[in-house]
Chains A and B, each alone.
Chain A
Amino acid sequence: MTDRLGVVVSGSLESGVEVKLDGSVSVEDMAVGRYVTIEGQRQRFFGMITDIGLGVIDTRFTLTPPDITDPFVSEVLSGTSTYGTLHVLPMLTISGDVANLIEGPQPVKTVPSHFSVVNLASQADVELVFGGEDEKRFYVGTPLDMETKICLDLPELVKRSNGIFGKSGTGKTFLTRILLIGMLQKSAAVNLIFDMHNEYGWAGTSEGGRSVKALKQLFPSKVAVFTLDEESSRRRKVSTDFVVRIGYDEIEPKDMALLRQTLNLTEPAVEAIYQLRRRFGRDWLRQTADLPDSEETNELLKELSIHESTFQNLRRGLATISRLPFIAPQAPDNAVTRILEYLDRGINVVLEFGRYTDITAYILVANLLTRRIHSQYRDRMEKAMGEDTTKPTPLVITVEEAHRFLNPEVATRTIFGTIAREMRKYNVTLLVIDQRPSGIDTEVMSQMGTKITCLLDNERDVDSVLAGVSGKGALKSVLSRLESKQQALIFGHAVPMPVVIQTREYGSPQSYKEFFAAGEVEGGQRAEKDIEELWG
């Protein structure tokens, strides 16, 4: 079988080109998302199939269909009177001219000429575009129906904030785990992962209920598991490195402001927090919670012009916070310092939330820690710039349920919003994981370098993910046709063109072994042992 599909018959740069399929190529063998090369007269184009259609040479064929049960008639008519069409979005030029040789594939600035031949992209073409695996590039998956490895340039990836999106159950977590392993192996960055559902530290479960190993099991020397819930971790037999406790005095008004929605606080209540902070200093939370219902309190409130009902509203909110078991009047150790210590040593930190999967806890802790870590990073970065010393190791902070931190209402106030917007200035970037990207502030979305998205079927979510991407309409049809598992569309900074991948396998002993083979020797023997155990 030849790889020739047909010829270009019309099109534009904006909307992509229309390809008439040859008679020998069945339209049923085509698939949206597949790669093709177009042999123009002067340039070779690399593109993706974004739509597939049927055409007839004469509308009368549709009115009185010929008898195609006759194989002869159907063979004659296919490709001539009735034909398949492809809509191809040219993305890159891969000709061997100077610019291409030096800088690799270039974005397209024109379309191929009439009747240029369209071929299925060969393995070599795909490799040319997406590069092979090397010390910087990490294999994340294969294109549809191909064996070629699609690799992400990880040092490039972590320079900007990135997002992983997809409906619940489409494989976001698996994809994230793969990506985290990649970063751990191939980028110079360290990760801080706010692990709401305890899936990244020690072990996670697959959709089928099978237990899969997570980071610490695979890379014990490179990953530390911090926990908020020691008991839960112990029950799950996770070896933890540190138990995080947060003191009352560590909670700042800014942390509370973010919780306004989840704690049901009113605007005036949030204002009152700032006033109380000014009044009581660092220990404001405990002191406020301890205020007795007395005349003195009323006097104080009057002085601060805080209304009684506002105060009650605030008290209820504070009570919710103080009920969180990991909040203690006095923290035995400073979690931020500890986390930074680990990060400085190049050890990735996974913070497990144990049973506290309540969104209040998650927002509070993630925001609180991140703000302090970020400010430390900023200080160091500024110092490094001033004194020309080494800059701190790039840090990637992974957050789940990102729309809670980055929705338009709070994005301007949370530290995550700040990080997402200021990007890599201070060597801190985000890896945002979310299932409702439409809930995320558009400004934040627009700053994301690379977006990886699994199946999304809500119109608004799809729109928000694809906002500002060229060829949006075409990608939309690709995105909504992804399979519900193990398939993802990657586009943005780290890939030369949007690409649909079948994510690499994760969870089998063989897959673990492959990770080691690609990275380092550590653990390789362990994986071998696993295989032996598995097969007896």
Chain B
Amino acid sequence: MRIISSGLADRVGEIIEASTAGFTVQCYELYELPPLGSLVKTRDGELDIYGIVCHATTGSLEPGRRPIARGKDEATEADVYQSSPQLAKLLRSEFSALVVGHKTGESINQYLPPGPARIHGFVYQCSADEVKEFGRSLAFLNMLVSAHLPVAVDEIVPAALRLMSQSQEDPHAFLVAAGKELAVMLGGQFNQLRAILGRLK
């Protein structure tokens, strides 16, 4: 089995729920969430599964046990956490990622892997080089656009593209190419296209 060279610094959490189309990850540290739209990956044997962060939550570890307001006598928000150190353990941040492709050997395929990711699989934030490599093809946009997500596609797509463009040599050209791809995909949905393009700038 290949050893993933990325250090702990890139590791953001562990999968706690997985399906063919996506996985949910609990972060190791409270609030240490990867940004919305960023590219993450996990390993499954020989397979690297890529996902795009499409939704994130922070809440109580136990369902039904809601946090209570604690800061009445504190000067700053940070003081709240300082005076109640257990908070970091009682709360946790989670995010879900939409599977947008996988890597077998050296080739990146922008379609679904044969099976879902494993529970407790480590999830890493992709490096700039990996993002750049992934961004060579824009086929993943189709999965993103047609997915049913808790957050509107009009938000996720621009967020993902904006982040991805930062790793490209020519961010503008990348965005234009992606925009064109979207214009074709959303030929009949003029308003959605307009909303996405408006957020891409």
> Could you tell me which A residues sit within 8 Å of B by CB distance?
23, 57-58, 60-61, 64, 66, 70, 72-73, 75-77, 79-81
Contact = CB atoms under 8 A, between A and B. Distances in A.
Contact of B190 (A61, A70, A72, A73): A61
Interface stretch (B26-34, B43-51, B105-113, B180-188): B180-188
Contact of B176 (A57, A60, A61, A75): A75
B52 interface: no
Residue from A23, A73, A79 with most neighbouring chain B CB atoms (10 Å): A73
Contact of A58 (B179, B180, B188, B197): B188
A241 to B, nearest CB: 71
Contact of B183 (A60, A64, A70, A76): A76
B183 A77 contact: yes
A61 B194 CA distance: 10
A203 to B, nearest CB: 60
B183 A80 contact: yes
B187 A70 contact: no
B180 A73 contact: no
Contacts of B183: 57, 76-77, 80-81
B197 A73 contact: yes
A70 B182 CA distance: 17
Instruction: Bin chain B's interface residue count.
Output: 10 to 19
Interface of B: 172, 175-176, 179-180, 182-184, 187-188, 190, 193-194, 197, 200-201
A76 B187 CA distance: 12
Nearest to B186: A81
Contacts of A57: 183-184, 187-188
Chain A at the B interface: SS class: loop
Contacts of B197: 66, 72-73, 76
Contact of B184 (A70, A75, A80): A80
A72 B201 contact: yes
A61 to B, nearest CB: 6
A60 B188 CA distance: 9
A188 B125 CA distance: 82
A58 B187 contact: yes
A76 B201 contact: no
A79 B190 CA distance: 15
Nearest to A76: B179
Nearest to A58: B190
A79 B177 CA distance: 11
A535 B112 CA distance: 77
